[in-house]
Structure formats: C-alpha cells, structure tokens
C-alpha cells in the first residue's frame, strides 16, 4: 500500500483526457470568445476592458500556458512522476509562448506544432537507431509488444509526426499570409497594453486565415492523430501477447 502511494496512481481515462485536452479547450475558448469575455470580466471587476484587435492569439496563448501548467502539475502530483512527452511539450510551449507574448510575434506560436512534431519524430527515429525504444514512452507503458512490432510502430509514428510538421508549416504560412498587422499597443494600459485596447468592441478572430489555422491545429490535428492511432490497432492486436496486461 505504501509502495503504491509512493509510486502514485496512473491517470484514469477521464483524467488523462482532461490533462491532454483541457488546455486545448481553454485555448479555443480564449481565442474565439475572448473578445466577449474580456469586457464581461472587466465589468465584473469594475473596469472598462476591451480586447485589443489582433490580440486573440496572445490571450489564447497566455491562458493555454496557464492551463497547461495546471494540467502538468496535476499529472505529476497524481502519478508521482513526470511524463517525458508531457515535459517536452511543456518546455516548448513555455519557451515559444513566452517569446510570442514578450516579442509580440505570433510566428513563435505558429511554429510550435512544427517544432514539437519534428522533435518527436527525431526522438523516435533516433532512439530506434541507437537501440532505445521511445515508443513505449509514447504509449505510456500500456502495451507489451515484441521488438519488431515496436520497430514498425516507431517508423510509422516517426513518418507521421514528420508529415504533421510539414503540414503545419505549409498551413500557417499559407493561411496567415494576408493577415493584417496587429493594432497598436495602447500606452495607457502599461504592462497590459499587449492585450487590452482603450475603447471599442473588437471583432473576434479578425483574421479569418489565423482563425482557420487555430481550428486546424486544435481540431484537425487532434482528429488526425486519433484516426492514425486507431489505424494502428490491427498491428497492436496482432502482436500483443495473450498474457500481456497494462502496467499498473
């Protein structure tokens, strides 16, 4: 009993889904509803706040970083360990998200999926080339497969992540090519000028191309990943040992 407590408890299906998808849901809400929520929150706080035109992405990135930190902390607290893939994603999100906000340059966050996918592809293929099996990390110890099956999965996922990286680079560059420059920062708001405007109600997601990229990133890539993972089921079922059981 003490040993189990020391090791922690693996996240249940619902908790793991919340950790994985919760920050993404917060990102979507902040991006598409931020223009309405900011004035409402300001009114509740006794202030007249308006989201600066073009700042939807910065609000979404800031709230995404905060919610990811909460999800990451919950995962570590519950499982008593740091999930390697979650840690890698967290470092990249923190660095690129901070750069995007501080430098007022959305390119850093547009490229975040590209960097994550490239890094995953390199880690998986590089690990296989050096005799390390990082696919067990991806599946979080839930599967027991022979080496040849892990090798096949590693190759497939390496190619898949590389393809997603290329798709993201093409998508964000094409979709945001005509996006207007961000509205000027209001000096009167001081350190909050990167987010708030002085007056007026600003349309949400002013740049349609940027909004389409957000939908592709949050919904499209997620759906593609679920479908691709589902397509690996025949290989996994074929090679899974009859007596194999998920680790606890």
**Predicted local distance difference test score (pLDDT) of residue 248:** 42
Tokens read off for 139: 């599946």
Please tell me the predicted confidence (pLDDT) of residue 188: 65
Instruction: Return the pLDDT at 139.
Output: 72
pLDDT for residue 45: 86
How far out from the chain centre does Cα 7 lie? 27
In the chain, where do the E strands start and end?
50-51, 196-197
Gap between the Cα atoms of 113 and 194, Å rounded: 23
The reported pLDDT for the residue numbered 86 is 82
Residues 137 and 84: beta-carbon distance below 8 Å:
yes
Alpha carbons 47 and 103: distance in angstroms, whole number: 27
- Conformational region of residue 158, where left means phi above 0, alpha means psi within -120 to 50, and beta covers everything else: alpha
Please write the tens of the pLDDT for every residue from 174-224. Answer: 999 988 877 667 676 677 888 887 765 444 446 889 999 999 999 999 999
Three-state secondary structure call for residue 85: helix
Low-confidence ranges of the chain (pLDDT < 70): 1-8, 140-141, 183-184, 186, 188-189, 199-206, 241-248
DSSP per residue, 173-225: HHHTTTPPPPPPP-GGGGGGTTTEESSSPPPTT--HHHHHHHHIIIIIHHHHH
Look at the chain and count its residues. Answer: 248
- What local confidence, expressed as pLDDT, does residue 141 receive? 63
Provide the pLDDT for residue 143. 76
Q: Which two tokens stand for residue 235?
A: 């290989």
User: 120: exposed, middle or buried (C-beta count within 10 Å: 0-12, 13-18, 19+)?
Assistant: buried
| Domain locations along the chain | 1-103+179-203, 107-175+207-240
> Within 13 Å and on the Cβ side, how many CA atoms surround 122?
8
């Amino acid at each position: 009993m003490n040993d189990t407590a020391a090791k922690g408890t693996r996240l249940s299906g619902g908790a793991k889904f919340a950790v994985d998808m919760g920050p993404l849901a917060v990102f979507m809400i902040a991006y598409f509803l931020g223009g309405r929520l900011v004035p409402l929150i300001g009114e509740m706080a006794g202030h007249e706040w308006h989201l600066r035109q073009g700042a939807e992405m910065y609000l979404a990135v800031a709230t995404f970083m905060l919610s990811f930190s909460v999800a990451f902390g919950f995962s570590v607290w519950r499982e008593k360990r740091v999930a390697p893939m979650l840690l890698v994603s967290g470092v990249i999100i923190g660095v690129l998200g901070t750069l995007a906000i501080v430098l007022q340059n959305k390119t850093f966050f547009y490229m975040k999926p590209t960097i994550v996918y490239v890094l995953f592809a390199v880690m998986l293929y590089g690990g296989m080339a050096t005799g390390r099996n990082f696919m067990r990390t991806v599946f979080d110890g839930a599967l027991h497969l022979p080496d040849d099956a892990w090798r096949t999965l590693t190759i497939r996922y390496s190619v898949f992540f590389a393809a997603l990286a290329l798709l993201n680079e093409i998508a964000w560059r094409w979709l945001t090519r005509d996006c207007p420059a961000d509205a000027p920062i209001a000096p009167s708001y001081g350190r909050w000028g990167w987010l708030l405007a002085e007056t007026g109600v600003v349309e949400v997601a002013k740049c349609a191309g940027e909004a389409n990229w957000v939908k592709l990133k949050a919904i499209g890539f997620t759906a593609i990943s679920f479908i691709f993972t589902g397509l690996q089921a025949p290989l996994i079922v074929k090679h899974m040992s009859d007596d194999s059981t998920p680790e606890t």
